Structure 1
Amino acid sequence: MSIVRPKNSCLPRESGHPGGGLTQRRLHGPWVPAYAGKAAYIAATTVALLSPLPVLAADTPLLHPMFQDHGVLQRDRPIPVWGTAKPGEPVTVSLGTAQATAKAGKDGRWQATLPAQTAGGPFTLTAKSPSAEQTASDVLVGDVYLCSGQSNMEMQVRRSLDSWVEMGTRANQPQIRYLNVQRDTATRARPHFGKPVSWQVTSPQTVGDMSAVCYFFGREMRKLDEVPVGLINTAWGGSSIESWMPVEELRKQPDYKDALSFLATYDRNPADGVRAFVEGWQRWWTQAGQKAIWQDAYGTGEGWRDAPATFRPWETWGMPDMAAYNNIVWMRASIHLTAEQAAQGVALHLGPADDLDVTWVNGTPVGSQYGPGDPRRYTLPPGTLKAGANTITVAILDAYGDGGLYGTAEAQAIELTGGGKLPLPTPWQFKPTPVDTSVVPQAPWGTVNGLSTIHNAMLAPIGPYGLRAALWYQGESNAGRPVQYQSLLTGLMAGWRRQFGPDLPFLVVQLPEWGYPQDKPMESGWAALRESQRAAVAADPKAGLAVALGVGDWYDIHPANKQVVAKRLVRAARKVVRGEDVAPSGAVPASVTRSGDTVSIRFTDIDGALKALSYHRPLGFELCGEGPGTCRYVDATLAGDTVTLPVGGGPAVRVRYCWADSPICNLQDSARQPPGPFEAVVR
């Protein structure tokens, strides 16, 4: 990209950070329910607050960062282009022979709309104002797809099957371009990214770090349409669906009123937001019959023990009762300060914490965050510290795997005015205090579990960029409250369509299998969440479902076979995006009826014939009574498009198929598409 601007102008410097995330267990509470559990790899991310936008300087780049060298613009529809200029300045935008004009508002923002273009390029996109000019070269016009979700969407090509082949000459795909949005959060929607983004040309050198599902999907779609393809990947491992939803949609959902109030307060004044949330957390704690431990000074109270001086997860301390402990542990330290030091203290550093912490200094709430492995830095309100002994108290909730404060001893410190630090003396003391962790309140400004926080920083800045479809691969982190997911997914699609257009197609990946199979019917959060995904998509004519059963891994929540997932997404896209007359998601039950001593399930949307693989009858069918624990496996038979189940002597109020975390099912049609799992009432 070449930029011509006034003399002595300069671009602002920005920096990012690496990271990753995976959740395997869920936490939820009365204010912020159904949030993610453990992350398997650490994301050193902190919440970024957005201050009111200033009037932009004259040397601010004219074009929004979405418009850069090697980008792809959506074909066959008007093309919005926007950016910033001096307030009141006219801006002219051109792409090839097409041209449009706009005028910058009082805040410096402008937006123009170029006429629709057919697929082609390369073009040069140019923006000119009286005081500046900016160009983006090698711009193509084709189809643009947005890929989003948690770690299975984030998972790179280099970690997928056949990666050594895919990263070779097969990746010479100059007509496929890729833009990755770096991890970030904000408490309100941003017009600009907080970290740099850029378009990349796909090559053996760049493809390895691209999202596997996103890239394989784009490559397969290009085979169908033979036009340039742009892929925008905005995903975060371990993230909940709530973190990706616009706040307007969360307001329509039950259970979020208090949390959104805390978030709004936090956005106006972080100290007030922390205090409001922690006061609520304290009420929850005492209503659970527990003592106000945060009020105790270091060295007082019963049940406290000294923690090892070397910071590491408590599972490695060599204490039998902590070796597999997953619950709340209270930890505290003490530091003696002079009056001058107390007056200069501006922040508390705790280092990485895992998973959730609530933190007080001398009984005053100073911070709370969910973010496994994320370093904590909490601003200290004036007057929090005092001359003499100061007690730092931390309640840490660990739901899975490692837990506690870890990193280095130097990471725990009081930050002083000017940047100096006073390390917290050891030993820390600790006190395990088990409670019902299914209802632990969590602060709504977290990273992977915040309310709208990822949406605000990683989706809102994309603006009204033209898209052909959005791909969504998420759900693992919401399996703790699966029934709610149908409403949340419906809200997410509605909110994104307000940003990208009311006709935006959605392609949703249904969760694959994970975990060791069971030998009897079980209640399953993963199965119930798949049902919510199926129901949300079935109710939306502009949405398609990619059934992922058969490509999961019993032992790895990150199955490596992303090629088949992408091909099933393409199958759904052929119906929903391209309008082909195909069965998009495998066979679906059209009717479930009882006649005498049998129940019949008639399937439709079959490509060719329905087949039972590797056995002479279909597997995975259950007949159930009204409530949980009433299901039993039955010996099904297949004839044409109908599966028949013998009622026998048990109840037959409901039918379930493939209903487990890791179901073993063997039905497929001639296109190798499996029917999705389902639960249905017998008529």
Structure 2
Amino acid sequence: MTKNSLLLGVALLALSPLPVLAADAPLLHPMFQDHGVLQRDRPIQVWGDAKPGESVTITLGDAKTSAKAGKDGRWQATLPALKAGGPFTLTAKSGSAEQSAKDVLIGDVYLCSGQSNMEMQVRRSLDAWVETGTRANQPQMRYLNVERDTATSVKQTFGKPVNWQVISPQNVGDMSAVCYFFGREMRKLEDVPVGLINTAWGGSTIESWMPVEELRKQPDYKDALSFLAKYDVNPADGVRAFVEGWQSWWKKSGQPEIWREPFGAGDGWRDAPATFRPWETWGMPDMAAYNNIVWMRASINLTAEQARQGVALHLGPADDLDVTWVNGTAVGSQYGPGDPRRYVLPPGTLKEGANTITVAILDAYGDGGLYGTAEAQAIELTGGTKLTLPTPWQFKPTPVDTSVVPQAPWGTVNGLSTIHNAMLAPIGPYGVRAALWYQGESNTGRPLQYKSLLTGLMAGWRRQFGPDLPFLIVQLPEWGYPQDKPMDSGLASLRESQRAAVAADPKAGLAVALGVGDWYDIHPANKQIVAKRLVRAARKVVLGENIAPSGPIPASVTRNGDTVSIRFTDIDGGLKALSYHRPLGFELCGEGPGTCRFVDAELKGDTVTLPVGGGPAVRVRYCWADSPICNLQDSARQPPGPFEAQVK
């Protein structure tokens, strides 16, 4: 950009009209609606939009305050702290405009977030037919669900409508099970109104929920955040920068520049079926359980006029992630197994004659492929006409280490800050008593990094909701078939990162979910026990009770001659080994991977003793597997969480 063009842009901006509030535009932010709950016993932040410079008067019961809208029309005011009660009417007035939120209660507000196990509905939980019956008549409980949405920069308000609901048998079935059961249990401890804000997205990574400021502190996101910033200003520039980086990574792995090969050239290509469905269903043995990168390509002949009129490439949903080129030019990349693609084509991308469309598809789990009808794969011309890409397409499996494949930072569930920007930031400084977090399954590919990421997420959210915000973290339950020998497990390592992050944070509590998982389903149905364990952690971290919040924890791990002793603390009553005469699930290990072995443990009081025997004893692991079989509990039926510790 030249200096003159920059000055012209500034001048045009200065001449642009200030925001004008429509006569019927809401004064209150969408968080403030009928049936809402405001946090008790602390000053209440209220905000919204008005005409620039105008005064706004806000009343809540007998409380009254005022604010003045800024040049951008935004205003914010503080009402005094109130005790639990209601219902009240919250009203904002500005000139002739007025808006009210009725049936507003004052109580405790809890923020529930994470991926699919937080999103999972009451109707899918254990005993759903009972839980959705008369016991769901909860007029003092309210629920607000934030719809799935993403943004490449922070948004002040929601892109999709939100509303508070009074919880009843008619609507509870579609609400988050963990969130609802937690709120219901908390009301048994403190008889005050409860407001539940659920903002969750199945399959999402922790990075998608973190503010950009926290991701900048991490060592691995510098380049991706620069791509995201470019994309936010100009998507074409962002795509170009990201794909250049992706291509560089691909070449460094020793692979040829497949995106430059014309249709029909190169080795290892095969014809794909004419129907677009998961490659696991193609009837080809090598594709039946394939989770990795597959290259796919098609060719279409265009006239000179058609090439000039081409404006976009349409593809059906790519499961999970695609990077796409046309004639060797990068045109797009997106994560979203259920989302069709539309990539704008830069001028000059298409040419007269044969044009090659090349798509690299990464499938990390479950089904993979390019979906939709044959007509969904097409070139769009000026005026909307679409030219279907001819079949058969060609495909070429090319396995790589999927944990290091670069992914576009503007993605949905795997983006950087994208869900935070659209589903958390718009909640603003709304009063929240505690945050519940049930997430991690999508981060098991890099589990050691999770401690730092979870620490950063908690720090970033506390800047929004207050520095003393308590966090209640669900440690992931078992999933997958048990093994008959010690194993290195990404799921176990992630549980350890969760434990370590919580242990380092005095305002965080851990709910150990082992024992409520399902070998065959990553979404276990018993969400009631998960909620009760979260409540136990809340009794310590939120209510300040003097109890063991997370079950027994190892206080010391020491070697004494030919034995290793693990002494536990935070025991309610006493330790017990269930269904066997000794504790199960203990391992002794050397320094490196593959050095662990099961050992016969003995329990006496608060201490478990392990015989060293003839093997190494540098580390102790407990419950260390995707689906470990462990049998220690205390008298409150709280299990010790899985852990790894150095022997001293």
What is the TM-score when the length of structure 2 is the normalising length?
A: 0.95
For the residues of structure 2 that align with 1:239 and 1:358, how far apart are their CA atoms?
Answer: 20
Q: SS in structure 2 opposite 1:187?
A: coil
**Residues in 2 aligned to 1:141 and 1:90: alpha-carbon distance in whole angstroms:** 26
Give, as a single letter, the amino acid of the residue that structure 1 aligns with 2:632.
L
Deviation at 1:158, TM superposition (A): 0.4
With 375-384 and 164-173 compared, the bigger mean Cα shift is at: 375-384
- Secondary structure at the residue paired with 2:447? coil
Whether the 8 Å CA contact 2:138–2:167 is kept in 1: the answer is: yes
Cα distance, 1:646–1:300 mapped onto 2, change above 3 Å: closer
Between 1 and 2, higher relative CO (CA 8 Å, sep ≥ 6) is seen in 1
Aligned to 2:503: 538
Q: Residue 151 of structure 1 is aligned with which of 105, 111, 116?
A: 116
Count of paired positions: 632
Task: Within 5 Å, give how 1:82-481 maps onto structure 2.
Answer: 82-481=47-446
What is the alpha-carbon distance in structure 2 between the residues aligned to residue 337 and residue 243 of structure 1? 40
Moved more, 206-215 or 337-346: 337-346
Q: How far apart in 2 are the matches of 1:387 and 1:87?
A: 54
| 2:22 is the alignment partner of 1:58 | yes
Which of 476, 482, 493 is the equivalent residue of 2:458?
A: 493
Q: Distance in 2 between matches of 1:409 and 1:187?
A: 31
Cα distance between partner residues in 1 of 2:343 and 2:111: 35
Shift in Å, 1:298: 2.3
Contact conserved, 2:18 with 2:71, CA < 8 A, in 1? no
Given candidates 551, 556, 573, the residue that maps to 1:586 is 551
Deviations 1:40-69 (A, max 9, x none): xxxxxxxxxxxx998253242111111111
SS of 2:530's partner is helix
Q: 1:73 to 1:418 in 2, by over 3 A?
A: farther
Letter in 1 for 2:222: K
1:199-252: CA deviation from partner (whole Å, max 9, x where unpaired): 111101100000000000000001111100000000011110000000000000
In the other structure, the counterpart of 1:40 is none
Gaps of 5+ in 1: 1-51
SS state of the match for residue 407, structure 1? coil
RMSD: 1.5
SS across alignment from 1:563: helix
Aligned to 2:396, the other structure's residue is in SS state strand
Matched residue type, 1:244:
W
Q: 1:401 offset after TM fit, Å?
A: 2.4
- 2:448 partner SS: coil
Contact conserved, 1:514 with 1:556, CA < 8 A, in 2?
yes
Matches within 5 A, 1:522-671: 522-671=487-636
Give the conservation status (yes or no) of the 8 Å contact 1:56–1:84.
no
- How big is the shift at 1:481? 1.2
Partner of 1:15: none
Out of 369-378 and 551-560, give the one that drifted further. 369-378
Indicate yes or no: 2:471 matched with 1:511: no
Shift in Å at residue 344 of structure 1? Answer: 3.0
Question: Aligned partners of 2:548, 2:37: CA distance in 1, in Å?
Answer: 30
Relative distance call for 1:593 and 1:321 in structure 2 (3 A) is closer
Q: Deviations over 1:364-400 (max 9, x none)?
A: 1000112223211112222222333322111112223
Q: Which residue of 2 aligns with 1:29?
A: none
2:49 maps to a residue whose letter is: T
Distance of 1:597 and 1:303 partners within structure 2 = 58
AA aligned opposite 1:461: P
Q: Match for 2:148: what amino acid?
A: R
Deviation track 1:328-369 (CA, whole Å, cap 9, x = no partner) reads 222112223334433332221101111111101121100011
What CA deviation, in whole Å up to 9, does each residue of 1:537-557 have, x standing for no partner? 011010000000100011110
Note the C-alpha offset of 1:181.
Answer: 0.5
Please identify, of 256-265 and 631-640, the stretch whose mean Cα deviation from structure 2 is larger.
631-640
* Residue matched to 1:680: 645
| C-alpha distance in structure 2 between counterparts of 1:600 and 1:284, whole Å | 47
Distance 1:642 1:301, change over 3 A: closer
* More displaced stretch, 365-374 vs 550-559: 365-374
Query: In the alignment, is the contact (CA less than 8 A) between 1:61 and 1:84 conserved in 2?
Result: yes
* CA–CA distance in structure 2, aligned partners of residues 56 and 415 of structure 1: 37
2:6 corresponding residue in structure 1: none
Give the secondary structure class of the aligned counterpart of 1:488. Answer: helix
- The question of whether the paired residues in 2 share the 8 Å contact of 1:121 and 1:138 is answered with yes
Alpha-carbon offset, residue 515 of structure 1: 0.8
3-state SS, counterpart of residue 484 of structure 1:
helix
Q: Distance in 1 between the 2:124 and 2:20 partners? A: 42
Q: Is the 8 A contact 1:58 1:131 kept in 2?
A: no
Equivalent position amino acid for 2:579 in 1:
S
Q: Structure 2 CA distance, aligned partners of 1:465 and 1:350?
A: 40
Q: Deviations over 1:243-301 (max 9, x none)?
A: 00000000000111111111111111111111111111111222222221212222333
Q: TM-score, normalised by structure 1?
A: 0.90
1:172 positional shift: 0.3
Asked if structure 2 preserves the Cα contact closer than 8 Å seen for 1:179 and 1:232, the reply is yes
Q: Does the Cα contact within 8 Å between 1:53 and 1:107 map onto a contact in 2?
A: no
